[in-house]
Amino acid sequence: MTLLQAVLIAIIEGLTEYLPVSSTGHMVIGTTLMGIAADDFVKLFTVAIQFGAILSVVVLYRHRFFDNLRLYPMLVVGFIPAAIAGLLLKDGIDLLLERVGVVAAALFAGGIVFLFIDRWFPHDNEDRAEPMTWRDALAIGCFQVIAMVPGVSRSAATIIGGLTRKLSRKQAAEFSFLLAVPTMCAATAKSLWDYFSDGGTFTPEHWKLFAVGNAVAFVVAALAIKGFVGFLNKHGFGLFGWYRIVLGGVLLLLIALGKDLVIV
């Protein structure tokens, strides 16, 4: 993987991490189209640059993190389902990450769902007056487990989970962003542990790619977050649904035509 490829992957991560279009799915597609071999470092890189995106949330929502102690138990409860599922299903998830067909099908199916979300939750622009409960956080955390399938989108699953608990779009999106912090920190830490436990090492080039990737992901994610909440409140999920359908449909068509879209 070259420095330019690392920057492009980081841009993809930053743009898509907090949008309901699946950052993992887009990085799988991106690495495939760029012909990047899925070696152990590349697999680690696509997970670990999420750390830069995490920091953007901490910076943008720093007052929520440091001034609201009640937030922490909610994040812990919301994180538990994904933590358990991640430990039990990691090997299977890693295999799915190498299959563009899985990503394509999840993008397409999720896009169809998105076309109906605004009808299912037509009155979700007003903030819910009642504070979040541990039941709300647990329910949203269970939705997050679904996003372990590449192409589903963690933010999409958790925002929809929030809407089912009668949160507004803004409330659901912001809790989705905040829940990403423990979730992606744990995923990054687990990936780093596995990498070094298996004898992996970082060369100076690896450190450079890692540092640049996280820096780019931080900046791009911060810009994406600032624009997304307002767009979602104003326009809903429809545009994201059509985007997912078109992208997933094109990929499925290429696969049906016999194009080799499996990561090498």
The helix (run of H) or strand (run of E) holding residue 170 is: helix 169-197
Q: Give the mean pLDDT of 144-164.
A: 90
Highest mean pLDDT among 102-106, 122-126, 218-222: 218-222
> Does the structure show a pLDDT above 60 at 61?
yes
Residue 32: closest CA among 176, 117, 198, 150: 150
Please say if the pLDDT value at position 262 is more than 80.
no
Residue with tokens 């680690």: 44
In the DSSP assignment, the letter for residue 153 is -
Q: What is the pLDDT of residue 36?
A: 83
Q: Is residue 262 part of a domain?
A: no
Q: Which long-range contacts (CB under 8 A, 24 or more apart) does 184-188 make?
A: 184/50, 184/51, 184/53, 184/54, 185/51, 185/54, 186/79, 186/83, 186/86, 187/47, 187/50, 187/86, 188/47, 188/48, 188/50, 188/51, 188/54
Phi, psi torsion values for 99, nearest 5 degrees: -115, 105
Label residue 30 by pLDDT band (50, 70, 90).
confident
pLDDT surpasses 50 at 264: no
Contact 262, 98 (CB under 8 A): yes
Tell which wins on pLDDT, 122 or 101: 101
Q: How many CA atoms lie within 13 A of 260 on its CB side?
A: 3
Instruction: Give the number of C-alpha atoms closer than 13 A to the C-alpha of residue 185, restricted to the C-beta side.
Output: 14
Percent of all residues in the chain with a pLDDT value above 90, rounded to a whole number: 42
Average pLDDT over residues 133-158: 92
Averaged over 43-49, what is the pLDDT? 89
Sorted by sequence, the CB contacts under 8 Å of residue 37 that are 6+ apart come out as: 263, 264
CA atoms within 13 A on the CB side of 206: 15
Give me the domain span that covers residue 164: 3-256
Average pLDDT over residues 176-180: 92
Is 264 part of a structural domain of the chain?
no
Whether 22 maps to a domain, the answer reads yes
User: 181 or 90: whose pLDDT is higher?
Assistant: 181
To the nearest whole number, what is the mean pLDDT of the chain?
Answer: 87
At residue 99, the 3 state secondary structure works out as: strand
Cα 41 from Cα 1, distance rounded (Å) = 9
Q: What is the mean pLDDT of residues 166-188?
A: 89
C-alpha atoms less than 13 angstroms from C-alpha of 108 in its C-beta half-sphere = 13
pLDDT at 259 over 80: no
CB atoms within 10 A of CB 140: 28
Phi, psi of 262 (to 5 degrees): -95, 135
> Given this model, what pLDDT does residue 125 score?
61
Beta-carbon neighbour count of residue 253 at 10 Å? 11
pLDDT of the residue at 263: 41
How many domains are contained in the chain? 1
What amino acid is encoded at 152 in this protein?
V
Looking at the predicted structure, is the pLDDT value of residue 178 above 50? yes
Q: Is residue 263 part of a domain?
A: no
Written as six digits, the tokens of 98 are: 């190498």
Query: What number is the average pLDDT over the span 63-71?
Result: 82
Q: Is the pLDDT of residue 226 over 90?
A: no
pLDDT of residue 123: 60
d(CA 91, CA 82) in angstroms, rounded, equals 14
